[in-house]
Amino acid sequence: MNAPAPLQRKPTTVWQMYRSIVGIGAFCALLIVSVYQGTAGRIADNRARFLGNAIEEVLPAAHSTVEVALDANGALVGAAEPADLPAYLAYGDNGELVGAVITARGMGYADNITVLYSYSFELKAIVGHKVLESKETPGLGDKVELEPHFLANFEALDARLNDDGTALANAIVTVKEGEKTEAWQLDGITGATITSDAIGAILNRASGFWLPALERDARDFRPPQSTEE
Amino acid sequence: MGKKQSNSTDEFVKGLWRDNPVFIQMLGLCPALAVSNTAINALAMGAATTFVLVMAGLSVSLLRNFIPREARIVSYICIIATFVTCVDYAIMAISIELHRALGAFIALIVVNCLILGRSEAFASKNRPALAVMDGLGMGAGFTAALFFIGVMREVLGSGTLFGVDLFPGGFQTWTVMVLPSGGFFAMAIWLLLVNRIRQYQAEAEKRAGEQEAAS
């Protein structure tokens, strides 16, 4: 046996390693930024269209919307920049206030559920809901988007405030299927208990947060500029 | 094994059957099980993975003499992550709804062992043309496997195919097939079929070999 041959490959220099890692990093950065720049416009359009369709679905009377936010004192102001979970005031064809559209998020069975729902100032009730994002089990948890008797809850789900106007008069809760007796209860879904309970909890928390300020300030709110849909 | 000069068609065909990434190599099973609950999701996931496979294979092959051994994993992962990010933006630009359906699994293409595996095992040692054919073949094999699983799960689990109702007369859907466990059932059934066919093929080849030797 001969002695093992000396290693054929030349040892890698530090320069070669820097060159390849930094070079590839710079190329990748350039590519990502270019693709981001190239698609940003279309992605923003797609998102706006998706949200616009969703708002139209939960509040067909809405013609234009204005995003609102709460300032440090809890007063309603126009949103300076789009929020993660935005809320909107919706105006009809003649500029009259037709309702509010609120996004809210909470834990479901598999992951967070994000819903969009509409509130009618006239009925003091939640009048529509749509699931924006959910990873709930197809065939079970996604029934909150499909089941007719669950969707019937949103004909007018009572969300009136207490006499001080500081909180909901009655907490919105989900009850067992077929046991709904009050207007603020959600008739649940057998087989999707956790998901339908979660919808109740999400609506309750978001309404407790937004509705006192909306009821107090929305009618006097002057939109800075309205966004045509 | 004898080393023979392979041509680009061979590289393409091997991914479809002999070295099918899902049914034979058992690579990339996470998306194969998770995003195959409908036929359309399976196709979209397959297309996205194929694109990343081809682009990463091409880049790694072009740069194979530039990337030193010591820095290869970080370089490959950086290249793969870049193309996955591009695919992510592209899908959002095409359809927000599709992006929502594929969910977190687009980003997870980065850690699909199929792509890093092909970059390391094949693209880093072969010409760009062969690397592209290998990527296309593996991608097609991966897409086909996901599609077969997806069709089985959608038809049995929802009674539909591409969203079209197949049983207007009514069909008791097997909800379990659209649940995560359904992915395992469908995968097992296909594996059973594929392995049975391979067994027949091997036996036929053996018989043919014996006859040749005898004559």
Lowest mean pLDDT among A115-124, A203-212, B63-72, B102-111: B102-111
A138 contacts on B by Cβ (under 8 Å): 37, 157-158, 178-179
| pLDDT above 70 for B19 | yes
B91 contacts on A by Cβ (under 8 Å): none
Q: Which of B154, B158, B151 is nearest to B173 (CA)?
A: B158
* pLDDT of res. B151: 94
Instruction: Say if CB B101 and CB A46 are below 8 A apart.
Output: no
Q: How many distinct helices (H) and strands (E) make up chain B?
A: 8, 2
State how far residue B179 is from chain A, nearest Cα, in angstroms: 7
Q: Structural domain boundaries of chain B? A: 9-214
Cβ-defined contact of A139 to B74 (cutoff 8 Å): no
Could you please report the per-residue DSSP string of A56-120? HHH-TT--EEEEEEE-TTS-EEE-SS--SS-EEEEE-TTS-EEEEEEEEEEE-SSSEEEEEEEEE
| pLDDT above 70 for A1 | no
- φ, ψ of residue B182 to 5 degrees: the values are -60, -30
Average pLDDT, chain A: 87
Instruction: Quote the pTM value.
Output: 0.76
Average pLDDT over residues A154-177: 90
Return d(Cα A134, Cα A152) in angstroms, integer: 20
* pLDDT of res. A42: 95
For chain A, percent of residues with pLDDT exceeding 90: 48
At B6, the pLDDT band (50, 70, 90 cuts) reads low
Could you please report the per-residue DSSP string of A125-151? EEEEEEEEE--PPTTTGGGGGT-HHHH
Average pLDDT over residues B98-119: 84
Cβ-defined contact of A16 to B178 (cutoff 8 Å): no
| pLDDT above 60 for B22 | yes
State how far residue B50 is from chain A, nearest Cα, in angstroms: 18
Lowest mean pLDDT among A177-186, B5-14, B94-103: B5-14
At A7, the pLDDT band (50, 70, 90 cuts) reads low
Distances, alpha carbon B89 to alpha carbons A54, B28, B107, in Å: 22, 22, 11
At B215, the pLDDT band (50, 70, 90 cuts) reads confident
Q: Which of A88, A184, A202 is nearest to A134 (CA)?
A: A202
Which ranges of B71-112 does DSSP label H, i.e. alpha helix?
72-94, 96-102
pLDDT digits (tens, 9 = 90+) for B154-213: 999 888 898 888 888 888 888 888 888 899 999 999 999 999 999 999 999 999 999 988
Cβ-defined contact of B90 to A39 (cutoff 8 Å): yes
Q: Which of B197, B189, B188, B57 is nearest to B127 (CA)?
A: B57
DSSP state of B69: G
Residue found by looking up tokens 């809901």 in the block: A129
At B13, the pLDDT band (50, 70, 90 cuts) reads confident
A47 contacts on B by Cβ (under 8 Å): 96
Residues contacting B15, CB < 8 A, separation 6+: B21, B134, B136, B137, B138, B139, B140, B141, B142
* pLDDT of res. B1: 39
Cα torsion angle, A62, A51, A202, A88, sign: negative
B100 CB within 8 Å of a chain A CB: yes
Q: How many angstroms from the chain centroid is the CA of residue B55?
A: 15
Cα torsion angle, A145, A149, A151, A157, sign: negative
| Higher local confidence (pLDDT), B55 or B8 | B55
Q: Which of A135, A150, A145 is nearest to A189 (CA)?
A: A150
* pLDDT of res. B3: 45
Cβ-defined contact of A138 to B78 (cutoff 8 Å): no
Question: Which of A20, A30, A36, A109 has the most B C-beta neighbours within 10 Å, making it the best mutation to test the interface with B?
Answer: A20
Instruction: Say if CB A183 and CB A125 are below 8 A apart.
Output: yes
At A185, the pLDDT band (50, 70, 90 cuts) reads very high
Average pLDDT over residues A176-180: 89
Question: Which of B67, B91, B99 has the most A C-beta neighbours within 10 Å, making it the best mutation to test the interface with A?
Answer: B67
- φ, ψ of residue A224 to 5 degrees: the values are -65, -50
Nearest CA in chain A to B180: A137
State how far residue B195 is from chain A, nearest Cα, in angstroms: 31
Residues contacting A9, CB < 8 A, separation 6+: B69
Give the tokens for residue A120.
């009618």
* pLDDT of res. B57: 95
For chain A, percent of residues with pLDDT exceeding 70: 92
Average pLDDT over residues A55-61: 91
A16, A28, A50 member nearest B82 (Cβ): A28
Cβ-defined contact of B85 to A20 (cutoff 8 Å): no
Q: Which residues pair with A66 in a beta bridge?
A: A89
DSSP state of A184: T
* pLDDT of res. B2: 39
* pLDDT of res. B170: 80
Average pLDDT over residues B143-153: 94
Cβ-defined contact of B66 to A23 (cutoff 8 Å): yes
Radius of gyration of chain A (CA): 26
Average pLDDT over residues A37-59: 92
| pLDDT above 70 for A227 | no
Residue found by looking up tokens 């010591």 in the block: B70
How would you class A118 by CB atoms within 10 Å of its CB: exposed for 0-12, middle for 13-18, buried for 19 or more?
buried
Give the tokens for residue B25.
């190599």
Q: Which residues pair with A91 in a beta bridge?
A: A64, A97
* pLDDT of res. A229: 47
Cβ-defined contact of A23 to B175 (cutoff 8 Å): no
Instruction: Say if CB B133 and CB B152 are below 8 A apart.
Output: no
pLDDT digits (tens, 9 = 90+) for A91-105: 988 888 999 999 999
Cβ-defined contact of B66 to A135 (cutoff 8 Å): no
